Amino acid sequence: MAGGAVVSATEGKDYPGKLTMFVFLTCIVAATGGLIFGYDIGISGGVTSMDPFLKKFFPSVYRKEKEDKSTNQYCKFDSQLLTTFTSSLYLAALIASFFASTVTRLFGRKWSMFGGGLVFLVGAALNGAAENVSMLIFGRILLGIGVGFANQSVPVYLSEMAPARLRGMLNMCFQLMITIGILCANLINYGSDKIKAGWGWRLSLALAAVPAAIITLGSLFLPDTPNSLIDRGYDEAALQMLRRIRGTDDIDEEYNDLVVASEESKKIQHPWANILKRKYRPQLTMAIAIPFFQQLTGINVIEFYAPVLFKTIGFGNNSSLLSAVIIGLVNVLCTLVSIFTVDKLGRRKLFLQGGTQMFICQVIVGTLIAIKFGTSGEGDMPKTYAAFVVVFICIYVAGFAWSWGPLGWLVPSEIFPLEIRSAGQSINVSVNMLFTFAIAQAFLSMLCHFKFGLFYFFAGWVVIMTIFIAFLLPETKNVPIEEMVVVWKRHWFWGKFIADEDVHVSGMAVEISNGKPKGAGV
């Protein structure tokens, strides 16, 4: 069949077309939505460790920190009030992502990005100018709304624009931008902490306006995805867009498949009720389990509290912030490893390798801390010993950066059929935010109570999630997004949830034998 789709038995179709400059640039611009999330993750830990900030907004925390002469290293920084500042944003993001689902579906992905960027911009201004705690918290809520909208729309946008065989790579630019955002924030905190006049924290918070301006303006230039255009009735525009992004006129096959997917999705009145149907059980399970597990790797303990953690093991203020910068750098560089391997190695191999690496490092870090501080939390850590701890934390972050970090956003965005994609992505974002919130809120008191055991606690979860992936996540590399159902149908466990008549993929004769599609010719 001239120029038609090629189907491989294991991976699905490969539509004609190449990676055009146009699609590459649109994906880079859209991915900058990750900057605002990353900037926020990286900025709050440093700001809350700055004395002028604490004195102005949280004087009681400041007094406690200065007066507390207790020798228990594990409990030095336990303050619920302070963690509320960090975690309030994630609650706002959680709620916003549900509204974002409707905007994304009805008006297209780009307007969710635009709206998110704009609200974030206002939040940044409010935070930079904050005179009292209410301004600060209100600003945080606006930032959270921005993050909710961006995280809901950007990963879906990237997965829909990308050609199937490069989807992993392009989608992961979102995570790359998150890590760049974190690193920039770490660097800015490192510099602004040195401002003697005491307004460094204002600079840190107000500079969030820069990434916000990038995504707000950038989104205005973004085209909508063909999937979304068809879904909203702009068939001709979708056809043209598909030609443009694939760089070929030979797009009929892909176009027809998108139309079929859209027709299926039109039959659905209520995506929220629909997602509960038995045939979507595999996707729903993943939309909940993947973000839940991503947070239970313990990564945000490092992201939010690295400076505090390093102070706990005896580092000075400056070297704590510097160590956070080093970790930020490792995070960016190792995300690149994933970007260049994910479409060749596949998702599963990265998940399994990264999980094993994280587990080993967590056990080592927990043990190193246990040897020095025991359960009493009393003791000192010599410099070289503490440097070892930092090295293993870096290896742990590397493992996360090429597995659960990017895959935690990629996999959920590529497994949903169009009819439940927006709703599914909202569930993914909100579960992610809920557990980001829970961990941000609970970490300092968990450290105080679990002590070094906290690292074993997260290591235990990493074992569970690695086993979960090994048995329950099918490989999704190179499978066109609107044909993912075939992957689930073939799976030893999830196949049972999908009836033969639910596998309707146009142009692809999916041979069903004993209830299993065999992957066949066109």
Site pattern 416..445 for ligand BGC (x: CB under 6 A):
----------------x---x---------
Task: Give CA–CA dist 43/296, Å, rounded.
Answer: 21
Give the one residue of 46, 116, 148, 408 binding ligand BGC; rule: CB under 6 A: 408
- For ligand BGC, the closer CB: 73 or 362: 362
CA 425 to chain centre: 11
Task: List the interface residues with ligand BGC, window 16-75 (CB under 6 A).
Answer: 41
- For ligand BGC, the closer CB: 84 or 248: 84
Number of residues interacting with ligand BGC: please give it, by CB under 6 A: 15
Task: List the interface residues with ligand BGC, window 243-302 (CB under 6 A).
Answer: 294, 299-300
Residue 8, beta-bridge partner list: 12
- For ligand BGC, the closer CB: 245 or 401: 401
Give me the least distance between CB of 294 and ligand BGC, in Å please: 6
Instruction: Work out the number of other CB atoms within 10 angstroms of the CB of residue 8.
Output: 11
**Can you tell me whether residue 12 is helix, strand or coil?**
strand
The number of residues in the chain equals: 522
Q: What single letter denotes the amino acid at residue 65?
A: E
Give me the least distance between CB of 331 and ligand BGC, in Å please: 5
Give me the least distance between CB of 299 and ligand BGC, in Å please: 5
Residue closest to 436 by CA, chosen among 296, 228, 339, 341? 296
Buried b (16+ CB within 10 A) or exposed e, 229-239: bbbbebeeebb
Task: List the interface residues with ligand BGC, window 179-218 (CB under 6 A).
Answer: 179, 182
Q: Report how far apart, in Å, the C-alpha atoms of 11 and of each of 468, 477, 519 are.
A: 22, 7, 8
Among the listed ranges 2-10, 108-116, 220-228, 401-409, the one in contact with ligand BGC (CB under 6 A) is: 401-409
Site pattern 450..489 for ligand BGC (x: CB under 6 A):
----------------------------------------
State the Cα torsion 450-452-453-456 to the nearest 10°.
140
- For ligand BGC, the closer CB: 172 or 251: 172
Do the Cβ atoms of 203 and 192 come closer than 8 Å?
yes
Residue closest to 469 by CA, chosen among 377, 354, 367? 354
Give me the least distance between CB of 291 and ligand BGC, in Å please: 8
Give the one residue of 331, 362, 426, 430 binding ligand BGC; rule: CB under 6 A: 331
Do the Cβ atoms of 172 and 338 come closer than 8 Å?
yes
- For ligand BGC, the closer CB: 159 or 228: 159
Task: Give CA–CA dist 456/363, Å, rounded.
Answer: 6
Give me the least distance between CB of 367 and ligand BGC, in Å please: 24
- Count Cα atoms within 13 angstroms, Cβ side, for 68: 16
Give the one residue of 178, 368, 415, 429 binding ligand BGC; rule: CB under 6 A: 178
Give me the least distance between CB of 87 and ligand BGC, in Å please: 12
Do the Cβ atoms of 20 and 243 come closer than 8 Å?
no
Place of tokens 């491989």: 8
Residues that bind ligand BGC (CB under 6 A): 41, 175, 178-179, 182, 294, 299-300, 303, 331, 405, 408-409, 432, 436
